[in-house]
Amino acid sequence: MTRYLLWLLLGVGWLPLAASAASYDCSRATTAAEIAVCDNPGLSGLDEEMASLYRSLLYQLPPRQATRLRDDQRSWLVARDSCGADVRCLRARYQERIARLNEY
């Protein structure tokens, strides 16, 4: 029984790590913004939602529009990174980006 309880507690200890998976490899996060997204399940969820919309659009758009979307995404990443680790700023950036992607 004690062994079962120990395994259960160890398994539960890994849940937060699995729940906060961003759309990129968090072990390679280098900027303060990337690290903050990896450390915050809410931001991580927004990142995954935004990444899913972005990838979906890339496959649907004609090549010229897809190129513009990639350029726009690169600019957005610079703006996102300017937030540093400020969660409120990051949340706002992600919400704005998701809204913009939904307009396409």
The tens digit of pLDDT for each residue in 50-64 reads 999 999 999 999 999
Q: How confident is the model at residue 9 (pLDDT cuts 50, 70, 90)?
A: very low
- Tell the burial category of 39 from Cβ atoms under 10 Å away from its Cβ (0-12, 13-18, 19+): middle
pTM: 0.78
The tens digit of pLDDT for each residue in 61-92 reads 999 999 999 999 999 999 999 999 999 999 99
Domain ranges of the chain: 2-103
